Amino acid sequence: SHRTQFCTYSPIFTDESKTASRVGCGVVFDQNVFSRRLNASCSVSTAELMAIWFALEKVFTLPENTFCIYSDSLSALETLAHPQTSTHPISSEILCLLARLKAIDCEILSCWTPSHVGIHGNELTDTVAKSASIDLNHPLPYADIKKFLLISVHSLWQESWDQQIHNKLHSIQPLLKLRPVVPVRMLDVKLNRLRIGHTRLTHKYLLFGERCPACTTCHVNLTVHHILVECPVFSNHRSRFFSSVSLNIRDLVEERPHQHIFAFLKAIGIFNFL
């Protein structure tokens, strides 16, 4: 087995734990257990590397000079195996520690171990990482800070958007996220005008100081919603293109618009007036 082959190397198990509210890392030597709580904004990759960094710092305090670090993070080990392609600041610090340890004749090997397969050291490290209560004061990588800020700002934006229940676009796009772009810009522009309910046909009157246009059949204000889902004049067209006469506007112009929406608009003669 691996441990038989490398029995002269003291095993060191490392692991990380990340939940919505806390991040921790753990290190287990033969009879010693260490854990530290990390900044809650740490990414998983940062926490995995911090566990290895923390383990190497502890190696300086030990009498042995041959160690094998076991981690279930293949990405962290690959980062250390190819330092020339890594841009993570923690990996650079780890490489510096490895160089210092090599200078004092300390040999460090690394080995990947699959997680949750009953390896005692792995299971124990996972447990102590989850229960970490002592803070590890270490600067947070800028990439993690940027990601945290983006998520926080987006969350605030979503909270504000959730209050805009009378906004026409809100009913179509309640969740704020990137939408796929229609390859043809002209069609993408027309689709976005339908989503916000502002088209030349329905809102040109504002520019010319005219009266709001009305549906000549229903005698109500002419709106995108009325044209797409309400007006009985276009019922046959809805049945033909959408296979239904009972529709919700979100079904037609949501994130991925109905495949026949533009054909429908051309058939009822308003495509060029959007």
| Domains detected in the chain | 2-145 (3.30.420.10), 185-273 (no CATH)
Q: What predicted TM-score, i.e. pTM, was given to this entire model?
A: 0.72
Rounded Cα distance between 180 and 202, Å, is 26
Residue 177 CB-density burial (10 A; 0-12 exposed, 13-18 middle, 19+ buried): exposed
Q: What percent of the chain lies above the pLDDT cut of 90? A: 60
pLDDT value at residue 117: 62
Is beta strand 23-28 parallel, antiparallel or unpaired with respect to 107-112?
Answer: unpaired
Cβ–Cβ < 8 Å for 43, 147? yes
Give residue 1's pLDDT band: very low, low, confident or very high (50, 70, 90): low
Order of strands, edge to edge, in the sheet holding 23-28? 33-38, 23-28, 10-18, 66-71, 107-112
- pLDDT of 3 > 90? The answer is no
8 against 122, higher pLDDT = 8
* Cβ-Cβ contacts under 8 Å for 178 (sequence gap 6 or more): none
φ, ψ dihedrals at 93, nearest 5°: -65, -40
- pLDDT 10s digits, 39-86: 999 999 999 999 999 999 999 998 899 999 999 899 899 888 887 777
* Average pLDDT across the chain, whole number: 89
pLDDT value at residue 116: 58
Type of residue at 136: L
- pLDDT 10s digits, 156-189: 999 999 999 888 888 888 888 887 788 899 999 9
- pLDDT 10s digits, 181-229: 888 999 999 999 999 999 999 999 999 999 999 999 999 999 999 999 9
Give residue 123's pLDDT band: very low, low, confident or very high (50, 70, 90): confident
- pLDDT 10s digits, 77-122: 988 888 777 788 999 999 999 999 999 999 999 999 877 565 777 7
pLDDT value at residue 30: 78
